[in-house]
Amino acid sequence: MPRKVRDTYYKSSLFENKRSWNNYTYRLFEMAMSRGHWENMPKSIDVRYLEQTLITQGACVFFKDEVLGYLCLPVVLNGKLDVYGNPYNFMAISDTGYNKKLDVNSGVIIYNNYLRMPNITEIGYYADRLYEYDRIIDVNVKAQKTPVLIKCDKNELLSMENMYQKYEGNQPVIYGKKSLNDDNITVLKTDAPYIADKVYALKRNIWNEALTQLGIPNTDTTKRERMIKDEVISSQGAVIATRNSPEKMRQLACDKINEMFGLNIWYQFDNIDIDKTIYRGGEDDGALYDTGTDNMRDASRAE
């Protein structure tokens, strides 16, 4: 019975695939959680958990427990709906087993956006694409280093694998057995074209698209030599439009919470500082700025 060969290359590539996917998923997830800030939130509320729940489940409920104080936990709809589809009754739940029945007079549901949907789906969608482009770049760059395919007899396979490991490890001299039969060995050049730069540009565009989808400011950093203020504002239009939905739904919930519990909490997305992303293009164009702090300060004085 032939001995089973361990496919270490497959396991290694699988590990790199998972690591690349996790990298983009966690980065986008964390950036989505920190897009804005809550003001005057009671100390008993874990804002990190609140945002995590909104992004992964699409909604959570704010209420006051007689013992624990103000809480904000995942919510399960339970009961009738009004004519607009809003629930009268719902239940707060926790991973620890805590649960509490609530209604429109004792709790306020905070929705993630107008669609009342989580962001985790779109984060996974963009992570799938970004990790795929990442791995294509890795494979293409690797192909520039080892653009060969070796054909040999079965009895020479182990020797070829050992020699290839030395070749991959940049060993300056590779020694082979005297009995090595070079007549049965064929080396085919793969001549893989270098496309890593094009794939990287595509990956950068998809990354900017993902940030725009989450309402996070971004711009094309390849156009460093000249970008006027109107161009930057125009490029951030989709970002501003995208962040309106999650910001307004959180602010609407703040109004209801403040009215019900006599608090003064508020949510605000972090401001987009357009001037920090604008570049100076020429002496004769007064609408152009430089990314340097001193130059931006001088430009603002000139205005």
Q: How much is the average pLDDT of 210-217?
A: 92
Contact 76, 214 (CB under 8 A): no
Q: What residue type is 88 in one-letter code?
A: Y
Q: Which residues face 186 on adjacent strands?
A: 151
Say yes or no to pLDDT of 94 above 80: yes
Is the per-residue pLDDT at 281 higher than 90?
no
Query: For the residues 177-185, what does the mean pLDDT come to?
Result: 62
Helix (H), strand (E) at residue 212? helix 196-213
Of 245, 254, 263, 257, which Cα lies nearest the Cα of 58?
245
Convert 59-85 to b/e letters by CB count within 10 Å (16 or more is b): bbbbbbeeeeebbbbbbeeeeeeeeee
Token digits of residue 113: 């956006």
The confidence band for 239, taking pLDDT boundaries of 50, 70 and 90, is confident
Query: What gap in Å lies between CA 112 and CA 54, rounded to an integer?
Result: 5
Whether 183 has a pLDDT exceeding 80, the answer reads no
CA separation (Å) from 203 to 120, 136, 211, 214, 291? 20, 10, 12, 17, 24
**55: number of Cβ within 10 Å:** 20
Please state, in angstroms and rounded to a whole number, the distance separating the CA atoms of residues 136 and 132: 6
Domain boundaries 148-189, CATH class: alpha beta
> Is the per-residue pLDDT at 241 higher than 70?
yes
Q: What is the mean pLDDT of the chain?
A: 81
pTM for this prediction: 0.74
Backbone φ and ψ for 287, nearest 5 degrees, come out as: -90, 5
Amino acid making up residue 55: I
